[in-house]
Amino acid sequence: MISEIADYFSRHGKDYLALLGGHIGISFISVAIAMAVAVPIGIAVYRSKIGSTIAERSFGVLRIVPSLAVLIILIPIMGTGVLPSVTALTILAIPPILINTVQAFQTLPKAMLEAADGMGMSTAQKFFKVKLPLAFPLMFAGIRTAVIEVIASATLASYIGAGGLGDLIFTGLSLLRYSLLIIGGGSVAILSLLTGFVLDSIYKQITKYQRT
Partner 1 sequence: MIDYFAKHSDMLMSAFLEHLQIVFITLIISIVLAAVISYLLLKSKKATNITVNIFSQIYSIPSLALFALLIPLLGLGNKTAIPVLVLYNQYLLIRNIMTGMQQVDRSLLEAGTGMGMNKWQLVTKVQVPLAMPSIIAGIRLAIISTTGIATIAATINAGGLGKILLSGLRTMNTYKIAWGTILSVIIALVADMVLKLLEKKTKATKLNEI
Partner 2 sequence: MIAVELKNVNKQFKGQTTPALDNVSVQIEEGEFVTVLGSSGCGKTTLIKMLNRLYEADSGEIFLFGKNIKEQNPVELRRKIGYVIQQIGLFPHMTVKANIATIPKILKWDKKRIDKETDRMLRLVQLEPDEFRDRYPAQLSGGQQQRIGLARALICDPRIMLLDEPFGAIDAINREILQNELKAIHQKSGRTYLFVTHDIREALKLGTKVIIMNEGKILQYDTPENIINNPANEFVENLIRTAELKGGA
The residue ranges that bind partner 1 (CB under 8 A) are 1, 63-69, 72-73, 75-76, 148, 151-153, 155-156, 159-160, 166, 169-170, 172-173, 178, 181-182, 184-189, 192-193, 196
67 binds, among partner 2, partner 1, none (CB under 5 to 8 A by kind): partner 1
Q: Are 71 and 11 in contact (CB under 8 A)?
A: no
CA distance linking residue 22 with residue 151, whole number of Å: 11
Nearer to partner 2, 64 or 111 (CB): 111
98 binds, among partner 1, partner 2, none (CB under 5 to 8 A by kind): none
Nearer to partner 1, 45 or 149 (CB): 149
Nearer to partner 2, 131 or 144 (CB): 131
Q: Which residues of 110-130 are buried (b: 16+ CB within 10 A; e: fewer)?
A: eeeeeebeeeebeeeebbeeb
Nearest approach in angstroms of CB 106 to partner 2 is 18
Q: What end-to-end distance do the CA atoms of the chain give, in Å?
A: 50
Give a three-class secondary structure readout of 133-200: HHHHHHHHHHHHHHHHHHHHHHHHHHHHCCCCCHHHHHHHHHHCCHHHHHHHHHHHHHHHHHHHHHHH
Residues lying near partner 2 in the complex (CB under 8 A) are found at: 109, 111-112, 114-122, 125, 129-130, 133-134, 209-212
193 binds, among partner 2, partner 1, none (CB under 5 to 8 A by kind): partner 1
Nearer to partner 2, 111 or 176 (CB): 111
Nearest approach in angstroms of CB 206 to partner 1 is 20
65 binds, among partner 1, partner 2, none (CB under 5 to 8 A by kind): partner 1
Nearest approach in angstroms of CB 20 to partner 1 is 13
State which amino acid sits at residue 36.
A
How many Cα atoms are found within 13 Å in the side-chain-facing hemisphere of 210? 11
State which amino acid sits at residue 135.
A
Nearest approach in angstroms of CB 118 to partner 2 is 3
